[in-house]
Amino acid sequence: MTYTIHQDGKYKFIEEGEGQPIIMLHGLFGAMSNYSGVIEHFKKTHKVIVPLLPLFELDLLHTTVGGLEKFFNKFIEHRDYKDIHLMGNSLGGHVALIHVLKTHDRIRSLILTGSSGLFENGMGDSYPKRGDYEYIKKKTEITFYDPNTATKELVDEVYQIVNERMKILKVISLARSAIKNNLGEELNRINLPTLLIWGNNDCITPPFVGREFNKLIKNSELHFIDHCGHAPMMEVPNEFNKILEQFLHKLNISAANSL
């Protein structure tokens, strides 16, 4: 599915549909296209926004989880989005968590799927040699329960990233920043309604990570999806959308009852 990439100043983003905003943040090797199944479903009822995070555009010093959060905060202020359902996968979830810990004036709910912030296995304990396509292919495949989800196009994108010296330096910087920025002692401050959707076969942020988030975030609910890895919204979008739709419906009922 192809979407129009809007540009407003320095910000690039997809924006589809009308209604309450759902903003989706992609991960380290992710892209805006990761959310196509979610966009198609929710653009009928919501304004769905997927900003392009500047993973490789910031200077090396600011290529951190905190640097991405500052960029995201300026983006939603610039666009004046309010009452946001904020969703993040992997590193995008980490950025979302840091944002709501700093300020949640514009955020109505938090949705995390395969989020970093507590624990993760990244590309492994070694970085690939340039030109080692098979290594990259295997590492990309472990993101998913079904390795066929790692299409040649997706593998090619990751391969291109790790074969550019400055990009791989920024990947390393972001990965180290995510490990260093452990949020375990801060998550009990989050009071927003929070939805956790986890793949039962996630090898990068395994199921125990989802359980730990559920324990530490007071107002959270946890759902596991079988035969699913680190990116449920890509691998099993129909099941992902059903869980998210039920969560948003409950929020609307709760809001109506409080009037």
What average pLDDT does this structure show over 154-177? 84
Classify residue 197: in a domain, yes or no: yes
How many domains, in total, are found in the chain? 1
Q: Is residue 1 part of a domain?
A: no
CB 184 within 8 A of CB 216: yes
Q: Are 23 and 52 in contact (CB under 8 A)?
A: no
CA angle 199, 205, 211 (to 5 degrees): 70
Reply yes or no on whether the pLDDT at 255 is more than 50.
Answer: yes
The parent domain of residue 95 ranges over: 6-257
Domain annotation covers residue 84: yes
- The pTM assigned to this predicted structure is 0.92
Does 11 reside within a domain? yes
Give the model confidence (pLDDT) of 10-68 as tens digits: 999 999 999 999 999 998 876 666 788 999 999 999 999 999 999 888 888 888 999 99
Instruction: Examine residue 129 and state whether it is found in any structural domain, yes or no.
Output: yes
What is the pLDDT at residue 125? 44
Mean pLDDT of all residues in 200-222 = 96
End-to-end CA distance of the chain, in Å?
39
Q: Which CATH number do you get for residue 81? A: 3.40.50.1820
Report the 3 state secondary structure along the chain.
CCCCCEEECCEEEEEECCCCEEEEECCCCCCHHHHHHHHHHHCCCCEEEEECCCCCCCCHHHCCHHHHHHHHHHHHHHHCCCCEEEEEECHHHHHHHHHHHHCCCCEEEEEEECCCCCCCCCCCCCCCCCCCHHHHHHHHHCCCCCHHHCCHHHHHHHHHHHCCHHHHHHHHHHHHHHHHCCCCCCHHHCCCCEEEEEECCCCCCCHHHHHHHHHHCCCEEEEEECCCCCCHHHHCHHHHHHHHHHHHHHHHHHHHHCC
Amino acid 184: pLDDT: 93
Asked whether residue 133 is assigned to any structural domain, the reply reads yes
pLDDT digits (tens, 9 = 90+) for 83-132: 999 999 999 999 999 999 999 899 999 999 999 999 866 544 445 455 68
**Is position 127 within any domain?**
yes
Q: In this structure, is residue 237 part of a structural domain?
A: yes
